[in-house]
Structure 1
Amino acid sequence: MAQLAGLTMDAAAGGLFGLIGTALGRVTGIFERRQAFAQEQARWQHELKLHELTMQARGQETEAELALIAQSGSWSGLEASIMADAAIGEASRWVINTLRLVRPTLTMLLWLITGWIFARTQDGSIVEAAVFAATAATLWWFGDRAPRGRSAAQRLA
């Protein structure tokens, strides 16, 4: 009978240790899952930050491309204006002279109108807008129209 009691105690102790081992395994698993979840959250935060930085870089890249396109369009417009001026071709002298007086006449009128606005209005923003428009038009019309120097080949000829 003592042997039967020893066997029963051994079985109960083995079962108890088995249950304790299972419980410890489960508790350890809970901590492992918490740690894995925290690690996963940190990875998600890192990926989110990378996406935000990528979007910011793409936004800056797009702004730079738009600025380049706008600048290119501005130069293309100036080039087209100069080409149109050069494409007058053969015409009578008085027509060419009249066409050559259009820009200076318009510029003078624009500055006279700007002076009149300056004298008549008390609103500073209107005056600033008129001066800006007159300055932009003047520089657009006459900015790149200076006579060009002769090239080395022309000087040698």
Structure 2
Amino acid sequence: MGEVISLAASAAGGGVFGLVGTVIGRVAGYFEQRQAQAHEQVRWQHEAQLLTLQMDARREAAEAEIRQAETAGSWTGLAASIEADAAIGDSYAWVNAVRALTRPVLTLLLWLITWLVYTSAPEPEQAKIVETATFAATAATLWWFGDRGTKRMAR
């Protein structure tokens, strides 16, 4: 009978030891899984941040291209306008006189409109209207007279 008890004790001890090993394995597996999930979560956060930075860089590059295209278009328009003005050539004296007076008269009219708007516009709309009129008058003054400094009329 001692052998049976010894055999039963060995079986029970082996079973308990096997269960303890299984529990330890499961606990270790649980912690490994948590660690793997934490690692994956950090990796996904990093990738999300990287994608966000890439999108920001692309957006900034696109905005820079738009600004460059707008600037290039403005300069192209200015160059075409100056070329068209230079291509007109000489005509009758009275035509040249009218052409020479067009810019100053239009500029004076723009500044007169600006002054009239400033003195007679209702208060809420006054600021926006005056800003627009001032922009137009300033642009006209600088553009129209800016390219006249070096030209001399032939007699």
- Normalising to structure 2: TM-score of the pair? 0.82
Question: What is the CA–CA distance in structure 2 between the aligned matches of 1:44 and 1:16, rounded to whole Å?
Answer: 41
2:137 is the counterpart of 1:129: no
Question: What is the CA–CA distance in structure 2 between the aligned matches of 1:145 and 1:73, rounded to whole Å?
Answer: 23
For the Cα contact (< 8 Å) 1:114–1:127, is it kept in 2?
Answer: yes
Q: 1:58 to 1:22 in 2, by over 3 A?
A: same
Letter in 1 for 2:133: A
CA deviations on 1:108-137 (whole Å, 9 max, x unpaired) are: 221122222223235341223221221122
1:65-80 alignment to 2 at 5 Å? 65-80=65-80
Question: What is the CA–CA distance in structure 1 between the aligned matches of 2:70 and 2:149, rounded to whole Å?
Answer: 24
Q: CA deviation at 1:8?
A: 2.0
Q: 1:49 to 1:144 in 2, by over 3 A?
A: farther
Q: 1:143 to 1:48 in 2, by over 3 A?
A: farther
Structure 1 unaligned segments of length 5 or more: list them: 149-157
- Output the aligned Cα RMSD: 2.1
Q: Which residue of 2 aligns with 1:152?
A: none
Letter in 1 for 2:59: G
Q: CA deviation at 1:18?
A: 0.9
2:141 is the counterpart of 1:138: yes
Q: CA deviation at 1:56?
A: 1.5
For the Cα contact (< 8 Å) 1:107–1:137, is it kept in 2?
Answer: yes
May I ask how many residue pairs the two structures share in their alignment? 148
CA deviations on 1:83-129 (whole Å, 9 max, x unpaired) are: 10011146444434433332222112211222222232353412232
Q: CA deviation at 1:25?
A: 0.6
Question: What is the CA–CA distance in structure 2 between the aligned matches of 1:63 and 1:97, rounded to whole Å?
Answer: 46
1:97-136 alignment to 2 at 5 Å? 97-123=97-123, 124-125=126-127, 126-136=129-139
Q: CA deviation at 1:75?
A: 0.8
CA deviations on 1:37-96 (whole Å, 9 max, x unpaired) are: 111111111111111122122222222221111111111111011010011146444434
Question: What is the CA–CA distance in structure 1 between the aligned matches of 2:120 and 2:12, rounded to whole Å?
Answer: 108
**Sequence identity (%):** 55
- Normalising to structure 1: TM-score of the pair? 0.81
Structure 2 unaligned segments of length 5 or more: list them: none
